[in-house]
Structure 1
Amino acid sequence: MFFDYPKRKHMFIHCDVWGHAWVMQCPPGEIWHQNSTTCVVDSINQDGKTHSTTNPCTKDDLDKNELFFPLPNRTLFIHCDLAGHPWVQSCGIRQVFDATSSTCVYDISPFIG
Protein backbone atom coordinates (compact mmCIF):
# COMPACT_ATOMS: atom_id res chain seq x y z
CA MET A 1 0.00 0.00 0.00
CA PHE A 2 2.99 2.35 0.59
CA PHE A 3 6.09 2.59 -1.58
CA ASP A 4 9.26 4.65 -2.04
CA TYR A 5 9.07 7.56 -4.42
CA PRO A 6 12.49 7.14 -6.03
CA LYS A 7 12.89 10.74 -7.19
CA ARG A 8 12.57 12.38 -3.76
CA LYS A 9 13.27 11.10 -0.26
CA HIS A 10 10.60 13.39 1.26
CA MET A 11 7.81 11.75 -0.74
CA PHE A 12 6.16 8.33 -1.01
CA ILE A 13 3.46 6.58 -3.03
CA HIS A 14 0.20 5.54 -1.37
CA CYS A 15 -1.96 2.98 -3.18
CA ASP A 16 -5.52 2.15 -2.19
CA VAL A 17 -7.31 -1.20 -2.47
CA TRP A 18 -8.81 -0.19 -5.84
CA GLY A 19 -5.38 0.31 -7.44
CA HIS A 20 -5.31 4.11 -7.32
CA ALA A 21 -1.91 5.63 -6.51
CA TRP A 22 -1.07 9.04 -5.06
CA VAL A 23 2.28 10.70 -4.54
CA MET A 24 2.24 11.98 -0.96
CA GLN A 25 4.63 14.28 0.90
CA CYS A 26 6.05 13.70 4.37
CA PRO A 27 5.69 16.48 6.95
CA PRO A 28 8.46 19.13 6.90
CA GLY A 29 11.76 17.79 8.24
CA GLU A 30 10.77 14.16 7.68
CA ILE A 31 11.73 11.58 5.05
CA TRP A 32 10.09 8.36 3.89
CA HIS A 33 11.44 5.16 5.45
CA GLN A 34 10.26 2.15 3.46
CA ASN A 35 11.19 -0.53 6.05
CA SER A 36 8.87 1.02 8.63
CA THR A 37 6.42 2.34 5.98
CA THR A 38 6.21 5.75 7.61
CA CYS A 39 7.77 9.17 7.51
CA VAL A 40 10.52 9.63 10.08
CA VAL A 41 12.49 12.66 11.20
CA ASP A 42 15.47 13.26 8.91
CA SER A 43 18.15 12.80 11.59
CA ILE A 44 20.87 13.68 9.08
CA ASN A 45 19.43 17.11 8.45
CA GLN A 46 17.37 18.50 11.31
CA ASP A 47 16.62 22.21 11.00
CA GLY A 48 19.16 22.51 8.20
CA LYS A 49 21.99 21.29 10.44
CA THR A 50 23.82 17.99 10.36
CA HIS A 51 23.53 16.10 13.64
CA SER A 52 25.44 13.11 14.88
CA THR A 53 24.54 11.11 17.93
CA THR A 54 26.19 8.08 19.46
CA ASN A 55 24.01 5.05 18.87
CA PRO A 56 22.32 4.27 22.21
CA CYS A 57 20.99 0.96 20.87
CA THR A 58 23.54 -1.26 22.58
CA LYS A 59 23.17 -4.99 23.08
CA ASP A 60 22.91 -4.44 26.85
CA ASP A 61 20.01 -2.01 26.40
CA LEU A 62 18.28 -4.28 23.90
CA ASP A 63 18.64 -7.22 26.31
CA LYS A 64 16.94 -5.08 28.99
CA ASN A 65 14.21 -4.12 26.46
CA GLU A 66 15.25 -0.46 26.64
CA LEU A 67 14.32 0.78 23.19
CA PHE A 68 13.54 4.51 23.62
CA PHE A 69 15.95 7.34 24.42
CA PRO A 70 15.51 11.12 24.79
CA LEU A 71 17.13 13.75 22.59
CA PRO A 72 17.91 17.40 23.44
CA ASN A 73 14.90 18.46 21.36
CA ARG A 74 12.14 17.16 23.64
CA THR A 75 9.72 16.65 20.73
CA LEU A 76 12.05 13.97 19.32
CA PHE A 77 13.33 10.65 20.64
CA ILE A 78 15.37 7.69 19.46
CA HIS A 79 13.56 4.40 18.91
CA CYS A 80 15.81 1.33 18.63
CA ASP A 81 14.68 -1.57 16.49
CA LEU A 82 15.50 -5.12 17.60
CA ALA A 83 18.53 -5.20 15.27
CA GLY A 84 20.08 -2.24 17.14
CA HIS A 85 19.37 0.44 14.54
CA PRO A 86 18.42 3.89 15.90
CA TRP A 87 15.52 5.81 14.37
CA VAL A 88 14.74 9.40 15.28
CA GLN A 89 10.99 9.69 15.78
CA SER A 90 8.81 12.69 16.54
CA CYS A 91 6.06 13.09 19.10
CA GLY A 92 2.62 14.33 18.16
CA ILE A 93 1.47 17.92 18.16
CA ARG A 94 2.04 19.61 21.54
CA GLN A 95 3.74 16.47 22.89
CA VAL A 96 7.22 15.86 24.30
CA PHE A 97 9.11 12.65 25.03
CA ASP A 98 9.05 11.53 28.67
CA ALA A 99 12.06 9.31 29.43
CA THR A 100 10.48 7.93 32.61
CA SER A 101 7.52 6.40 30.80
CA SER A 102 9.34 5.99 27.43
CA THR A 103 6.42 7.61 25.63
CA CYS A 104 5.25 10.95 24.33
CA VAL A 105 3.07 12.98 26.69
CA TYR A 106 1.26 16.29 26.36
CA ASP A 107 3.55 19.24 27.08
CA ILE A 108 1.97 21.13 29.95
CA SER A 109 4.94 23.49 30.47
CA PRO A 110 3.33 26.39 28.47
CA PHE A 111 0.42 26.30 30.95
CA ILE A 112 2.54 26.34 34.12
CA GLY A 113 3.78 29.55 35.64
Structure 2
Amino acid sequence: MKFNHLGIPTTERFDGEIDLPHLKMTVSDHQNNPYGIQWQRFWADAPYPELVKTVPHAAFEVDDLMAEIKGKKVIIEPNSPSEGLIVAFIEVNGAPVELMEYSK
Protein backbone atom coordinates (compact mmCIF):
# COMPACT_ATOMS: atom_id res chain seq x y z
CA MET A 1 0.00 0.00 0.00
CA LYS A 2 1.42 3.39 -1.05
CA PHE A 3 0.15 6.90 -0.26
CA ASN A 4 -1.27 8.69 -3.32
CA HIS A 5 -3.01 11.85 -2.11
CA LEU A 6 -4.99 13.61 0.58
CA GLY A 7 -8.43 14.65 -0.68
CA ILE A 8 -9.86 17.70 1.06
CA PRO A 9 -13.44 18.79 0.30
CA THR A 10 -13.95 22.52 -0.12
CA THR A 11 -16.63 24.92 -1.28
CA GLU A 12 -14.05 27.54 -2.28
CA ARG A 13 -12.57 28.09 -5.74
CA PHE A 14 -8.84 27.45 -6.15
CA ASP A 15 -6.06 28.04 -8.67
CA GLY A 16 -5.59 25.45 -11.39
CA GLU A 17 -9.08 23.95 -11.12
CA ILE A 18 -9.79 20.86 -13.20
CA ASP A 19 -13.47 20.22 -13.97
CA LEU A 20 -14.43 16.55 -14.15
CA PRO A 21 -17.99 16.58 -15.53
CA HIS A 22 -18.23 12.77 -15.62
CA LEU A 23 -17.52 12.73 -11.85
CA LYS A 24 -19.53 15.90 -11.07
CA MET A 25 -16.65 17.52 -9.25
CA THR A 26 -13.79 19.97 -9.62
CA VAL A 27 -10.33 19.08 -8.34
CA SER A 28 -6.79 20.41 -8.06
CA ASP A 29 -3.76 18.55 -9.40
CA HIS A 30 -2.34 16.73 -6.38
CA GLN A 31 0.69 15.59 -8.36
CA ASN A 32 1.90 19.18 -8.60
CA ASN A 33 1.27 19.92 -4.93
CA PRO A 34 4.28 19.38 -2.66
CA TYR A 35 2.06 17.79 0.00
CA GLY A 36 -0.05 15.59 -2.28
CA ILE A 37 -3.23 17.55 -1.50
CA GLN A 38 -6.14 17.33 -3.91
CA TRP A 39 -8.75 20.01 -3.24
CA GLN A 40 -12.20 18.72 -4.19
CA ARG A 41 -15.31 20.77 -4.83
CA PHE A 42 -18.34 18.58 -5.39
CA TRP A 43 -21.11 19.76 -7.70
CA ALA A 44 -24.64 20.06 -6.31
CA ASP A 45 -25.75 16.86 -8.07
CA ALA A 46 -22.64 14.80 -7.21
CA PRO A 47 -23.86 11.29 -6.28
CA TYR A 48 -21.50 10.62 -3.39
CA PRO A 49 -22.11 9.93 0.30
CA GLU A 50 -22.06 13.02 2.54
CA LEU A 51 -19.07 11.51 4.35
CA VAL A 52 -17.00 11.67 1.16
CA LYS A 53 -18.25 15.16 0.27
CA THR A 54 -17.53 16.64 3.70
CA VAL A 55 -14.66 14.76 5.40
CA PRO A 56 -11.04 14.68 4.12
CA HIS A 57 -9.77 11.30 2.96
CA ALA A 58 -6.42 9.62 2.46
CA ALA A 59 -5.94 7.74 -0.80
CA PHE A 60 -3.66 4.74 -1.19
CA GLU A 61 -2.53 2.71 -4.19
CA VAL A 62 -3.06 -1.03 -3.75
CA ASP A 63 -2.13 -4.07 -5.82
CA ASP A 64 -5.47 -5.89 -5.44
CA LEU A 65 -8.46 -3.63 -4.81
CA MET A 66 -10.96 -6.46 -4.43
CA ALA A 67 -8.81 -8.18 -1.80
CA GLU A 68 -8.35 -4.89 0.08
CA ILE A 69 -12.08 -4.13 0.32
CA LYS A 70 -13.12 -7.65 1.30
CA GLY A 71 -14.80 -7.54 4.70
CA LYS A 72 -14.60 -3.72 4.86
CA LYS A 73 -17.45 -1.20 4.99
CA VAL A 74 -17.56 -0.10 1.33
CA ILE A 75 -19.19 3.31 0.86
CA ILE A 76 -18.40 3.75 -2.86
CA GLU A 77 -18.30 0.54 -4.87
CA PRO A 78 -15.37 -0.17 -7.20
CA ASN A 79 -15.56 2.00 -10.32
CA SER A 80 -13.28 3.37 -13.01
CA PRO A 81 -13.06 7.18 -12.99
CA SER A 82 -10.36 7.12 -15.68
CA GLU A 83 -8.73 4.62 -18.01
CA GLY A 84 -6.36 2.26 -16.25
CA LEU A 85 -7.66 3.03 -12.76
CA ILE A 86 -10.21 1.39 -10.46
CA VAL A 87 -11.12 3.02 -7.15
CA ALA A 88 -13.36 2.31 -4.18
CA PHE A 89 -14.00 4.08 -0.89
CA ILE A 90 -14.23 2.37 2.46
CA GLU A 91 -15.12 3.80 5.84
CA VAL A 92 -12.55 3.37 8.61
CA ASN A 93 -13.46 4.59 12.10
CA GLY A 94 -15.90 7.14 10.67
CA ALA A 95 -13.57 8.50 7.98
CA PRO A 96 -13.45 7.80 4.23
CA VAL A 97 -10.40 6.08 2.75
CA GLU A 98 -9.88 5.78 -1.00
CA LEU A 99 -8.20 2.68 -2.42
CA MET A 100 -6.80 2.88 -5.94
CA GLU A 101 -5.63 0.09 -8.26
CA TYR A 102 -3.75 1.06 -11.41
CA SER A 103 -3.57 -1.34 -14.36
CA LYS A 104 -0.20 -2.96 -14.70
When normalised by structure 1's length, the TM-score is: 0.30
Higher relative contact order (CA 8 A, sep 6+): 2
Larger proportion of strand: 2
Greater radius of gyration (CA): 1
